[in-house]
Structures are given as C-alpha cells and as structure tokens.
Amino acid sequence: MNWNWGWTVHGDGKRIEPGGVVAPEERLSWPRTIGIGMQHVIAMFGATLLVPTLTGFPVNTTLLFSGLGTIIFLLITRNRLPSYLGSSFAFIAPLTATAGETMSARLGGVVVTGALLIVVGFVVKAAGKKVLDAVMPPTVTGAIVALIGLNLAPTAATNFSSSPLVATVTLFSILICTVAGRGMVSRLGILIGVIIGWVFAAATGNLSEGAEQAIAEAPWIGLPTFHTPSFEPSVIFVTLPVIIVLIAENVGHVKAVSAMTGRNMDDLAGDALLADGVATTFAGCFGGSGTTTYAENVGVMAATKVYSTAAYWVAAATAIALAFIPKFGALIFTIPTGVLGGATLVLYGLIGMLGIRIWQDNNVNFNNPVNLTAAAVALVAGIGNLTLTVFGIELQGIAWGSAGIIVLFPVMRWLYSHVGEGANIYNLGD
C-alpha cells in the first residue's frame, strides 16, 4: 500500500513555476496552504448548505459531517486523492418527496444508501470499474440522473411563485454571476445569488417573521443537533436510486483529478466509492445529509493548480469548527422561500441536464429503440412522479423510474438483439 501522510514542500513553498502543479503529496507553505484550504470551504458553502436548507436537515450537523466525511475520505484513499465531501444534491429529491415522514425515517434512507455504496465500493475494488459499466451503461445512468433533477421541477416552480420578485432577483443574480463572472465569482454564483436575494428580501420586508430575533437569540458556541435513524421501507426505496448519482460523481471525480494531475488514479475508484459510502452512512446515523465529491472544489484545484491533500485537511477542520457556531445555522434558516425558488430553478435543472450530458459524452444512440423507449418511460415516470402502493409500501416516481430502467433495459436489449430487428446489429450504441 502507498500511504502518503506527510507532505514535501513544493519548491520554495511560496510560488508555483509556470506550467507546474502542486501534487497531492506536496504542499506550499502552511500559511498559503491554510488560505487555499479555507478557499475550498468557501467554494463548497453555497451547495453544501443549500441541501439542509431545502430538506429541513440541521445545517450545523450537516456541516460537521461534511468535514468529518472529508477526513474519512482522505484516510480511506490513503491521502492520495484530493477531494472535499459536501452535501449531495441527489438527496434533495427523495428527502423532499418524503418530507411528511419523520426525520429518523428519512435518515434511515440515507444510511441504507450509504451502506449499499460501501458494498459497491468493495465490489469495484475486487472486480474493477468494468463491473459498473456492465450493470449501469450510460443509457441507464443518464436517465436516472436526469429524472432525479426533473422530478423536483414542480417544487422549484412552487417556491418561485411564492415570492416572484425576490425569486427573480435571486435567479438573475445567479445567472449573471455564472455566465459573466470570472474565477471564483463564476464558481460561487449560487452562493452570491442567494446572498443578494437574501439582502433584497430583507430590504423589502420579505424575511419570515421573527427571522432577526432567531439569529439574535442563537448562541455563538454550541453543539450541533443530532438525530438517530429508523428504517421505513417506503422511504428507503425512494432514496436508494440516489446511489446511481453518487457512483457517477465519485468515478467522475477520480477521472477529473487523473486528468488534471496527469496520473492514472483508476485504482482509487473503489476506494473513493467505499469512502463516500462510509461518510454517508456515518452522517445518516447522526442527523447529517448524504455526501459526495464536489465539482466546486475541483474547480478550485483547476484554478490554483494546487492538488495538495493538505489543503483538504485544512478545509475539513474549518468546516468542523464552523459546525459548532449555532448562530451560523440560524442565519442559514432565515433564507426566504422566494430565494430558494430562484436558486432551485437553476440547481434542479442542472441536475437534470447532468443526465443529458452523460448521454452526450457517451454518444448514446437514440435511434436505437431500446435506448429511446427505456429512457422515455423512465423520465415520464420520474417527472410525472408516478406514485403507486405495492404491498402497503408507497413508491414514488424516482423509485419507479430508476428501478424500471435498471430492470427493463437489459431485458429490452436482449429482446431487440435476439428477437427484434436488431438481431443482426452488433453495435447497439450504448
């Protein structure tokens, strides 16, 4: 095993030569490393804190397990793979869909999803990444990711219409920052947009009644709120499809870091999945939201050319420290519904478009009737939120769409290639 627990100083520790990079096992001077680590915290703020805000989970608790999850990830990947574990957007859909259930039941879904991801991690470590490609080809993966985001479209629209002016200001702030901003302004577009929306809402009297009092009364120092899980089959089945997104995000992260560092890190794919599974399970056991590797932090690495895992240890420690400031969590919970509506109109759409991107990047052939019909049925089941009760268990659109395409796609492909018109076609364009 290759264990990299120490870091060698890159050059003089002060600068990076043109064309150079700070490798995972290197670091700059500690003041510079601390600064970069705190920058990683800023990068993940907007997304990580939005998830508990939308789902009703404790903000400080989620932040705590985000930091602890990052440490778990660094330990399991043997300090070789730089990554920050923040709240996964994929959990928004099932946690929103099960909002009427108890906090414990919803946490149970997070725990089971994390446990299954641990199993997937061990399988990938043993058999290699090819096993994932066989079980979940791009047609299936793209459809599931797309329906997870698009299933939430009605929620975003409802939140937007509750306060159209505030939502519009928030939305346009995000769009302008994202497309016209540069560097960190562009990457922090959602966070900046939410802040602008909050300030506008406060100036126009659109904050919830008692918001200022709630912030004032919250203590500066205190323990996060902890909850324990319970296990309800209906909630678990709605939550489990999230694992598809977590797999795609973790494997994609490994590929991205490999490309940026010029190193083949495919051997770490199983470790990454295992680590995220452990972190998600751990978070769910005590009241935190499920975790995933963060593209926002990949952006910071790309901009700074610093891939040092030391910076991520700093980021994790900073997040853990902030988790013990209840006033911070109280501030987050004062974000008005209209602000959330403007932000989620973008966020939920981005999740949906990520699925489309998976199809595009993998050249999925929709002239093939198997790909076309399987994806079509899954998407409509998810977007329309098909809800049926089976053996006393109520299952909603995400569960039906995801389970349907995973089970039906290989059957349809076999029928097409052995019985239908595809019998003489060898490349199905998966």
**pLDDT digit string (tens) for the chain, length 430 residues:** 444 457 888 777 777 777 777 878 888 888 888 877 877 776 677 667 778 878 888 888 988 999 999 999 999 998 888 989 988 877 887 888 888 888 999 999 999 999 999 999 999 888 876 776 777 788 887 887 788 778 778 878 888 888 899 999 999 998 898 788 776 566 567 778 888 998 898 888 877 766 677 777 777 888 888 999 999 988 898 888 888 778 877 876 777 677 677 777 778 888 999 999 999 999 999 999 899 887 667 766 766 678 889 989 999 998 898 889 878 767 766 778 788 888 878 877 877 887 788 788 888 888 888 889 988 988 888 888 887 776 665 667 777 887 788 788 888 888 888 887 776 654 544 4
Q: For tokens 């902890």, what's the residue?
A: 226
Specify burial of residue 202 (Cβ count, 10 A radius: 0-12, 13-18, 19+).
Answer: middle
Total number of domains in the chain: 1
Q: Return the structure tokens found at 42.
A: 């800023």
381 and 400 in contact (C-beta within 8 Å)?
yes
Is 15 contained in some domain?
no
358 and 136 in contact (C-beta within 8 Å)?
no
Q: How far does Cα 186 stand from its chain's mean position? A: 19
Q: CA-CA distance, 289 to 86, in Å (whole number)?
A: 9
**Torsion on CA atoms 354, 291, 27, 78, rounded to nearest 10:** -110
308: region left, alpha or beta (phi > 0 left; psi from -120 to 50 alpha): beta
**Residue whose C-alpha is closest to residue 68's, from 54, 55, 87:** 87
**Residue whose C-alpha is closest to residue 91's, from 133, 136, 47, 46:** 47
Q: What pLDDT does residue 303 have?
A: 62
252 and 260 in contact (C-beta within 8 Å)?
no
Q: CA-CA distance, 97 to 100, in Å (whole number)?
A: 8
Q: What pLDDT does residue 42 have?
A: 67
Amino acid at 393: I
Q: How far is CA 234 from CA 52, 116, 237, 343, 386, in A?
A: 21, 17, 5, 29, 14
Strand partners, 22: 306
Q: What pLDDT does residue 391 have?
A: 61
Q: Using alpha carbons only, what angle is made at residue 40 by residues 223 and 293, rounded to the nearest 5 degrees?
A: 85
Is 391 contained in some domain?
no
3-state secondary structure of 389: strand
Is 14 contained in some domain?
no
Q: CA-CA distance, 80 to 2, in Å (whole number)?
A: 8
Q: What pLDDT does residue 272 have?
A: 92
Q: How far does Cα 410 stand from its chain's mean position? A: 27
Note the helical H segments in 163-241: 164-180, 184-187, 189-203, 211-217, 233-239
Q: How far is CA 115 from CA 273, 291, 322, 375, 392, in A?
A: 11, 13, 27, 27, 24
Is 427 contained in some domain?
no
Is 392 contained in some domain?
no
Q: Which domain range does residue 48 map to? A: 21-363
Is 152 contained in some domain?
yes
Is 95 contained in some domain?
yes
Is 306 contained in some domain?
yes
Q: Return the structure tokens found at 396.
A: 């909603």
pTM above 0.85, yes or no: no
